[in-house]
Amino acid sequence: MIRAQLIDVLFVIVPHSLLLDIAGPAEAFRLANQHRELRGLPPRFRLSFAGPVATLPTSVGLALGDLVPLPEQLTTPTWVVVVGQPTAHVTHVTAEIASTAQWLRDRLHVALLETDTPHRLVTICSGTLLAARAGLLGTRRCTTHHELLHKLRALAPRAEVIDNRVFVVDGPVASSAGITAGIDVALHLIAEECGEALAASVAEDMVVYLRRSPRDTELSPFHMHRRHLHPTVHRVQDAIVSEPQRDWDMTSLAHVGHAAERHLLRLFIDNAGISPLHYLRLIRLERARQSLEYGATVTRAAAVAGFGSDVQLRRAWSRQWGGSPRDAARAAGAGPPAARTTRSRSTR
């Protein structure tokens, strides 16, 4: 077996960096090395943490010390991880931010344009804005936290900024939407380098309920339409999310909400901006999409999500997104888990 070269994962720390932007992905890479060791494989990732000065405060006030200087050259395959800051600090271009942006441009602008470059840029949350200040995005597809999309478009006018996406990978540039999305993109990159089976083990260790993919939306249907305070609507939404496969109709939903059907409909429209049955369909579609993502057949996905048949799923899918669930299954590389494990590169 050829010994794979170590990948240097270089976290670029700036003042007031979001602590979980650093710790979440770093733990994922550490655990990946640990699981490789358990499999008798050499480590794949070497972590380091650099900044414009040796000690910097983080978002929670805890200072990080002993940061190494930003390197003069990238002499080994390097993934540069640019972490985010709280929104209040994003617009303040301090001397440290300016010098870090210049370093990023000097080290990565040309490297990211090279064919088969060994380097990669990974941005987490508002870290994408710092990459934009450095001029690294060009016309690439990218994303950031939903509250900062307009700022990203202003800083990178030629880039294709993607709304409502957990993370986006465009060649050697991977960008993510928010704090926990940094873990998602790290797991995705670990899967590419070390295989799906190993990445799944890391996710299990981190107690990540569901590994999200580049196709997942930032604003999950499980969270949408819930920015209200009405207890009756929340009670019915909780029941739908808990058991989408139940044979729900307006009568049974009204019973859960302890309300008349017409009154429940008015409450949903006024507070959630959607009807109860439309909300039910969105939740079922999301459950079906997740099942397809993890290898279920269309028939199985329909059953798990609560559709009466795969025909009902296809109709609902077409109305909501166009195309068909089979297209999504093919895009996800759906198939039996054993087959996907066989195709993984866990021995790299």
Indicate the domain borders of the chain.
7-205, 231-331
pLDDT band of 165, cuts 50, 70, 90 = confident
Q: Contact at 8 Å (CB) between 146 and 163?
A: yes
- Exposure string of 285-313, with b = 16+ CB inside 10 Å and e = fewer, is bbbbbbbbbebbbbeebbbbbbbeebeeb
Pairing type for strands 78-82 and 7-12 reads parallel
* Helix residue spans in 113-209 (DSSP H): 127-133, 149-155, 181-194, 196-205
Is it the case that residue 2 has pLDDT exceeding 70?
A: no
Q: Whole-angstrom Cα distance, residue 31 to residue 43? A: 10
Q: Whole-angstrom Cα distance, residue 255 to residue 251? A: 6
**Per-residue pLDDT tens over the stretch 74-106:** 999 999 999 999 999 998 899 999 999 999 999
What is the dotted CATH code of the domain comprising 231-331?
1.10.10.60
Q: Whole-angstrom Cα distance, residue 99 to residue 104? A: 9
Q: Whole-angstrom Cα distance, residue 140 to residue 133? A: 14
Residue 331: predicted pLDDT: 62
φ, ψ (nearest 5 deg) of residue 209 = -60, -45
DSSP string, 112-136: GGSTT-S-EEEE-TTHHHHHHHTT-
- Would you put residue 241 in left (φ > 0), alpha (ψ -120 to 50) or beta? alpha
Q: Whole-angstrom Cα distance, residue 237 to residue 280? A: 8
Q: Could you give the C-alpha distances from 198 to 41, 204, 208, 245, 279, in angstroms and in order? A: 11, 10, 14, 31, 36
Q: Taking the CA atoms of 70, 73, 77 and 82 in sequence, report the sign of the dihedral they define.
A: positive
**Taking the model in full, what pTM does it have?**
0.68
Query: Of the candidates 109, 159, 151, which has an alpha carbon nearest to the alpha carbon of residue 127?
Result: 151
**Per-residue pLDDT tens over the stretch 226-253:** 878 899 999 999 899 888 999 999 999 9
Is it the case that residue 199 has pLDDT exceeding 70?
A: yes
Percent of the chain residues topping a pLDDT of 70: 89
Q: Whole-angstrom Cα distance, residue 183 to residue 185? A: 6
Question: The tokens of 117 are what?
Answer: 């470059």
Q: Whole-angstrom Cα distance, residue 78 to residue 72? A: 13
Percent of the chain residues topping a pLDDT of 90: 69
Q: Could you give the C-alpha distances from 104 to 72, 81, 122, in angstroms and in order? A: 11, 11, 12
Q: Hey, which CATH number is domain 7-205, 3.40.50.880, 3.90.1150.10, 3.30.930.10, 3.40.1580.10?
A: 3.40.50.880
The helices-and-strands tally (H runs, E runs) of the chain is 15, 11
User: Mean of the pLDDT values across residues 123-135?
Assistant: 97
**Cα 338 from chain centre:** 25
Q: Average model confidence (pLDDT) for the chain?
A: 88
Is it the case that residue 163 has pLDDT exceeding 80?
A: yes
Place of tokens 């010390």: 65
